[in-house]
Structure 1
Amino acid sequence: MLDAALIKECADPSLKPAIVEQFVAAAGSTDPLAVTVKSGGRLILVPKATSADEAMAIVRQYAGRAVVRVGLTQFPAGVGVKEPADLKPDLVDACQNLRKGTAMFAKVLRIVLKWYGNPTSKDVFPQIFEDAVYAWKTGEFEGVSVFQEEDPGNSVTMETGTPPSEDTVNTDASPEGEKTESSEQSQSVGSAEMRIDLSRIGGK
């Protein structure tokens, strides 16, 4: 289980801690140095890294020629990077990997939720989460490359545990102007203001 302090400090704030834990449990790794390499759908056996340098050497060796996943969130190495040499060691830093991975997964969740028509019933969220995890593992959802796809942004809000309100799009108390300004100032993928709480999945 992920350390609560690590989640609080590093995970994307749009994801509740419970869903961060479930995401990493379903799609990630307990080892910050974990590197998984697949080619043609087949797993390629690589040496277990014992240091950040070793992990990055493996990543750079296969990036661009195979599907490489790294760290706690099994982040897809090479997304947005043109040359393997441009890959940064923060991929194997627990905090940075969790930050980047949860931000990207939040975007994937919003893409899946939008495809479902932005439902407000909490009953459909287990299926949405399952589809989002599958999309994270495969990189695709309904023919869309989720890692390159544009973020739907905070037009999507996921709130389970509360009944649909009269305002199902913006359940946050902040004024619309503040939300717009915040999303414009956001620099990282998936950091648009929103709350995702799927904590009731699996009885948690």
Structure 2
Amino acid sequence: MVDAALIKECADPGLKPAIVEKFIAAAGSDDPLTVTVHSGKRVVLVPKPATPEAAMDLIRQNIGRNVVRVGITQYPAGLGVLEADELKPDLVDACANLRMGTALFAKVYRIVLKWYGNPTGEEAGRQVFEDAIIAWQAGYFEGEAVFRTPDAGGVKVDTPGDAEPETSIAKETAVPDAEDRSEPAQDRLPDADPNKASIRVDLSSIGAK
């Protein structure tokens, strides 16, 4: 279990600590060096890194070919990165990963919440949270690549399992820019997995209408 003091210090302030704990329990890891690699629907077995340097080497070896999730929040390692050399060691730093991951999850939550029509109430909040977790793990919600979808903006909702009404689970908070690491850069067909990276691909046109 992630230390409460770490959550208080590093997690995005738009998420209540209780929600951060549930998020990590459902989709994250207690170990900041955890590197998870997927090829399509298949989990790729990789050696468990013992040091941050080993973890970064493992990430660089797989970026561009597979979906790579990293650290406490299982952050999408290649998000916004054009070259493997641009990957930064804060991906496997507990505080930095928690900060980036919870900010990005808050955005995903807002996208799901908006789709539901910004409902309130414990049961609605639980359903939105569960769907936000699924969207986080898949990278998609209702056919949209959630890591690239524009932010839905600040909203206040009842949080799942909380008795307090109108608590803020997802205030409008800063999500890492594309230059900071976002979804893996990729050269893909329209139906390909949005998390897979293809190195040295210009993403500047993505989202342009």
Instruction: Tell me if the contact between 2:28 and 2:71 (Cα under 8 Å) persists in the aligned partners.
Output: yes
Q: Which residue number corresponds to residue 37 of structure 1?
A: 37
Q: Secondary structure at the match of 2:68?
A: strand
TM-score (norm 1): 0.79
Q: Trace 1:1-204 onto structure 2 (pairs within 5 A).
A: 1-154=1-154, 156-160=155-159, 161-163=163-165, 187-189=174-176
The structure richer in helix per residue is: 1
1:67 partner letter: V
In the alignment, structure 2 segments of 5+ residues that lack a partner are 178-209
Q: CA–CA distance in 1 between the matches of 2:165 and 2:114?
A: 19
In the alignment, structure 1 segments of 5+ residues that lack a partner are 165-170, 173-181, 191-204
Q: CA–CA distance in 2 between the matches of 1:138 and 1:50?
A: 27
1:90 partner letter: D
Q: CA–CA distance in 2 between the matches of 1:128 and 1:120?
A: 10
Q: CA–CA distance in 1 between the matches of 2:71 and 2:123?
A: 31
Q: Which residue number corresponds to residue 193 of structure 1?
A: none
Q: Secondary structure at the match of 2:43?
A: strand
Q: CA–CA distance in 1 between the matches of 2:118 and 2:97?
A: 28
Is the radius of gyration larger for structure 1 or structure 2?
1
Instruction: Tell me if the contact between 1:107 and 1:189 (Cα under 8 Å) persists in the aligned partners.
Output: no
- Kindly state the Cα deviation for residue 123 of structure 1 after the two structures are TM-superposed: 2.1
Q: Secondary structure at the match of 1:153?
A: coil
Q: Secondary structure at the match of 1:98?
A: helix
- Kindly state the Cα deviation for residue 83 of structure 1 after the two structures are TM-superposed: 1.0
TM-score (norm 2): 0.77
Change (3 A) 1:163 1:54: closer
Q: CA–CA distance in 1 between the matches of 2:157 and 2:63?
A: 34
Instruction: Tell me if the contact between 1:73 and 1:102 (Cα under 8 Å) persists in the aligned partners.
Output: yes
Q: CA–CA distance in 1 between the matches of 2:74 and 2:117?
A: 28
CA distances 1:150-190 after superposition (whole Å, capped 9, x unpaired): 11111x222343446xxxxxx78xxxxxxxxx96xx65349
- Kindly state the Cα deviation for residue 5 of structure 1 after the two structures are TM-superposed: 0.8
CA distances 1:30-80 after superposition (whole Å, capped 9, x unpaired): 110000000021011111100000000000111121100000000001111
Identical aligned residues as a percent: 62
Change (3 A) 1:187 1:18: closer
- Kindly state the Cα deviation for residue 85 of structure 1 after the two structures are TM-superposed: 1.0
Equivalenced residue count is: 172
